[in-house]
Chains A and B, each alone.
Chain A
Amino acid sequence: MGAQVAGSATKGRQGLSESQLGRALVTPAVLVMCAVVFFPILATFWLSLHEYNLKYPYLGQPFVGLRNYIELLSDSRFLNSVKITTLFTVSSVAVELVLGMAIALLLNRTFKGRGIVRTAVLVPWALTTVVMARMWAWIFNSEYGVFNAILHRFGIIDQYIPWVADTNFALWAAVGADIWKTTPFMALLLLAGLQIIPRELYEASMVDGAGGWKRFWSITVPILKPTILVSLLFRTLDAARVFDLLFVLTGGGPGFATESLSIYTYRSLFVNLDFGYGSALAVATFLYVMLISFIYIKLLGARTER
């Protein structure tokens, strides 16, 4: 193979041209992408234009145009899930950015045992989400939970609170668990960005009399901006599709208090067995995530062209 490729490249016109060769080499990858990405997306979209409920087989599978999408707009459960997803995403990613930055700055310093600390910080991120969600379910448990025990001991609460069963707290309990798990990921990405900032810049600014705060905002943040945007993009997309954490920790409840877009989609498909409407929900989730990436990439593009 190697010889052939080299041969055709040197022979030039006789074989494939460079662009033809490029296309030929890319084709398998494109085919695979079509099979595993574009085809399912299009199939889901096609299904979302139909009535198709496994529980009502006598209705058949008629084409209904955009009816499912029109119904989405007046579906309070859908609008609620968009609200929940947005609240979850914005609050968890915001806190993760601040905490992640603090940890990254700390880890960027030289101190004894830095290697061990860097590894240790990563442990929450390395845990399987389902395992970690189960663990937090125990932490938040209304009778034996350590979270209640600590708050009680310090006199902050006088009665144990069923955190994940209470409409007012369940979402914030989930946000807390998500922050614990994914802050290390944020910190890791930011740390990588920090390490390419030349030490001389800081030294020069110190000579000029800039304080720590000033150095952070005038050197660290501007240089780190592309890294920050990339890590924000990663985390936001992940958080916007949140499923496993909520599924295990709260099951989307109580009521619809933690029902994210992904959870509602799942329930529509596998509990209501409504494949037409469920597909419309899946496409809506896809568009929601696309919109976020579009906004970020616009921001990113503007930054890097500078």
Chain B
Amino acid sequence: MKRIFVITMALTLILAFTIAGHAKSPVVINMFVGKDQSGANQKLVDMFNAAHEDIQINYQEMPPSTTEQHDKYVTVLAARDSSIDVLSSDIPWVPEFASAGWLLPLDDMFTDQDEYFAGPLLGTTYQRHVYAVPWFNNAGMLFYRKDLLEEAGFEPPETFDELVEIAQKLQTPERYGFVFQGMQYEGVVCAWLEMFWGMGGEMLDPDGKLIADQKILAESLQWLADLVHKYKITPPAVTTWKEAESQAIFLEGKAVFHRGWPSVYSHAQNPSTSKVVDDVGIVPMVHAPGQKSAATLGTWNLSISRYTKHPQEAWEVVKFMTSHEAQKIKALMGGNPPARRSVYTDAEVLQMYPHFGQFYDVFIGALPRPVTPAYPQMSVEAIQPPIAAVLAGTMTSEAAAADMLKGMQKILDRAQR
């Protein structure tokens, strides 16, 4: 008898809790983000969940590979599946996913756009609607050996010619002049675009029409080829390098200049991975006389899926994650350069990362890769092969520029027919 009583009581209690829980069950927002080793994302999620009773974030980490993340999102979103509410998007995906109709326009909600840098906003705006809020910045920049330049009495270079001159003077048989990512993949396009823009080149007009000047295309490709074949400040092996390889060479002290992403700096300051601690300076990528420095953006953003069942709650999550406070935590814990400009004047952040001041100078001039859903295909099929060919010395820069222009136009035409 006693046992039956206990069981009945237990069942009643469970039932009561279920009903109570059901009545007030919070909205769950599934947030998908690439792997984060700093723990900052988890901390932000915990903070949000503790502060909200009615909304709870279900935090899901994606594989570290950008390509794998892309393909996973495509599979889920193409199926119009509602299991993703908030997702982190690499900047070239924004026009792509927006054109496919997979992202929610955020025009009415994302109202403090002037708090952000201009470049990322260009990249997250497609056909006059904004589809993502920049979360943390990433852009290419020029790292140089402060110690070597000071010793030889050089100021950091501002123009292409200055870079070549200093590199030639300071390179030795054990030390390359200038290293970057030269393998045939997305990274080489990012590096090359900075040279193309730095010579005054433009790719698309605001309506998405190709306006690239063939002469500037050829000049920028020629400069790239000359680094290897004429100035000889970059070894031919550059065609096998991605970020890891060029960075390893620079951190070993075997290069004067290195084109890289912001994270290079934290690795350079870590004595267990670097032989150049405190010897690394940062300047924006060099440019042609009379032109401006440019940087290719790799900003990560937060977007809301068009298929979410809870757009309001999803926006609450995005708003919190991209707030000054949250971006500051991501900066302090993960070293991620914030997307909001106000964080760069935060005393606590500057004290921990004094170099963020130099990052700021780079981000001011940073540009997104051509903002069109056709970009990924343009990059792979029309831009990368000619770059690889001139770097390998198997094609003249004029022929490569003509090929590139023709290839890009063909892919853009496919989007219009």
- Residues 164-185 of A, flagged 1 when their CB comes within 8 A of B and 0 if not, give 0111000000000000000000
- List 9 additional contacts besides A253-B184, A255-B185; criterion CB under 8 Å: A51-B417, A53-B415, A55-B96, A59-B415, A142-B245, A162-B237, A162-B240, A253-B185, A271-B377
- Among B100, B183, B388, B392, the residue within 8 A (CB) of A273 is B100
Q: Which one of B10-18, B71-79, B209-217 is at the interface? A: B71-79
- Residues 372-394 of B, flagged 1 when their CB comes within 8 A of A and 0 if not, give 01101100110011001000100
Residues of B within 8 A of A77 (CB): 381
Complex Cα spacing A53 to B417, Å: 12
A54: Cβ under 8 A from any B Cβ: yes
- With both chains docked as a complex, state the minimum distance between the C-beta of B97 and any C-beta of chain A, in angstroms: 9
Complex Cα spacing A143 to B242, Å: 14
- With both chains docked as a complex, state the minimum distance between the C-beta of A167 and any C-beta of chain B, in angstroms: 7
Taking a contact as CB atoms under 8 Å apart, the answer to whether A271 and B183 are in contact is no
- Among B240, B373, B376, B417, the residue within 8 A (CB) of A165 is B240
Interface residues of A in 116-160 (CB under 8 A from B): 142-143
B354: Cβ under 8 A from any A Cβ: no
Residues of A within 8 A of B75 (CB): 270
List 16 A-B residue pairs with CB atoms under 8 Å apart, sorted by A's residue number: A54-B100, A55-B96, A56-B99, A56-B414, A162-B240, A165-B183, A165-B240, A253-B184, A253-B185, A254-B183, A254-B185, A255-B185, A255-B384, A270-B74, A271-B377, A272-B376
- CB within 8 Å for A55 and B70 given contacts A253-B185, A255-B384, A270-B75: no
Complex Cα spacing A255 to B387, Å: 11
Complex Cα spacing A77 to B96, Å: 22
Taking a contact as CB atoms under 8 Å apart, the answer to whether B240 and A55 are in contact is no
- Among B71, B100, B374, B385, the residue within 8 A (CB) of A271 is B71
- Residues 75-115 of B, flagged 1 when their CB comes within 8 A of A and 0 if not, give 10010000000000000000010011100000000000000
Taking a contact as CB atoms under 8 Å apart, the answer to whether B377 and A272 are in contact is yes
Taking a contact as CB atoms under 8 Å apart, the answer to whether A55 and B100 are in contact is yes
- CB within 8 Å for A142 and B101 given contacts A56-B373, A255-B184, A272-B376: no
A57: Cβ under 8 A from any B Cβ: yes
B239: Cβ under 8 A from any A Cβ: yes
Taking a contact as CB atoms under 8 Å apart, the answer to whether B373 and A55 are in contact is yes
Complex Cα spacing A253 to B242, Å: 12
Taking a contact as CB atoms under 8 Å apart, the answer to whether B184 and A254 are in contact is yes
Taking a contact as CB atoms under 8 Å apart, the answer to whether B415 and A55 are in contact is yes
Interface residues on A, range: 20 to 34
State the interface size on chain B (CB cutoff 8 A).
33
Complex Cα spacing A166 to B237, Å: 9
Which chain A residue lies CB-closest to B101?
A: A57
Residues of B within 8 A of A272 (CB): 376-377
- CB within 8 Å for A273 and B78 given contacts A55-B415, A254-B240: yes
Complex Cα spacing A165 to B188, Å: 14
Taking a contact as CB atoms under 8 Å apart, the answer to whether A54 and B376 are in contact is no
Complex Cα spacing A256 to B373, Å: 22
Complex Cα spacing A93 to B373, Å: 40
- Residues 227-266 of A, flagged 1 when their CB comes within 8 A of B and 0 if not, give 0000000000000000000000001011110000000000
Complex Cα spacing A261 to B84, Å: 32
Taking a contact as CB atoms under 8 Å apart, the answer to whether B96 and A59 are in contact is no
Taking a contact as CB atoms under 8 Å apart, the answer to whether B99 and A55 are in contact is yes
Which chain B residue lies CB-closest to A162?
A: B240
Residues of B within 8 A of A142 (CB): 240, 245
Complex Cα spacing A251 to B66, Å: 13
Complex Cα spacing A272 to B99, Å: 13
Complex Cα spacing A142 to B240, Å: 10
- With both chains docked as a complex, state the minimum distance between the C-beta of B94 and any C-beta of chain A, in angstroms: 12
Residues of A within 8 A of B74 (CB): 54, 270, 273
Which chain A residue lies CB-closest to B185?
A: A253
Interface residues of B in 222-237 (CB under 8 A from A): 237
- With both chains docked as a complex, state the minimum distance between the C-beta of A154 and any C-beta of chain B, in angstroms: 22
Residues of B within 8 A of A253 (CB): 183-185
Residues of B within 8 A of A271 (CB): 67, 70-71, 376-377, 380
With most chain B CB atoms within 10 A of its CB, the pick from A55, A167, A267 is: A55
Complex Cα spacing A270 to B237, Å: 31
Which chain B residue lies CB-closest to A77?
A: B381
- CB within 8 Å for A55 and B185 given contacts A142-B240, A167-B239: no
Which chain A residue lies CB-closest to B241?
A: A165
Residues of A within 8 A of B185 (CB): 253-255
- With both chains docked as a complex, state the minimum distance between the C-beta of B376 and any C-beta of chain A, in angstroms: 6
Residues of A within 8 A of B377 (CB): 271-272
Taking a contact as CB atoms under 8 Å apart, the answer to whether B388 and A255 are in contact is yes
Complex Cα spacing A53 to B99, Å: 11
- With both chains docked as a complex, state the minimum distance between the C-beta of B236 and any C-beta of chain A, in angstroms: 11
Complex Cα spacing A77 to B384, Å: 12
Which chain A residue lies CB-closest to B97?
A: A55
- Residues 264-293 of A, flagged 1 when their CB comes within 8 A of B and 0 if not, give 000100111100000000000000000000
Which chain B residue lies CB-closest to A161?
A: B240
- With both chains docked as a complex, state the minimum distance between the C-beta of B84 and any C-beta of chain A, in angstroms: 16
Residues of A within 8 A of B374 (CB): 55
- CB within 8 Å for A54 and B78 given contacts A162-B240, A253-B184, A271-B70: yes
Complex Cα spacing A167 to B392, Å: 10
- With both chains docked as a complex, state the minimum distance between the C-beta of A156 and any C-beta of chain B, in angstroms: 18
Taking a contact as CB atoms under 8 Å apart, the answer to whether B183 and A59 are in contact is no
- Among B99, B240, B380, B417, the residue within 8 A (CB) of A166 is B240
Which chain B residue lies CB-closest to A255?
A: B184
Taking a contact as CB atoms under 8 Å apart, the answer to whether B417 and A59 are in contact is yes
Residues of B within 8 A of A165 (CB): 183, 240-242
Residues of A within 8 A of B242 (CB): 165
Taking a contact as CB atoms under 8 Å apart, the answer to whether B240 and A56 are in contact is no
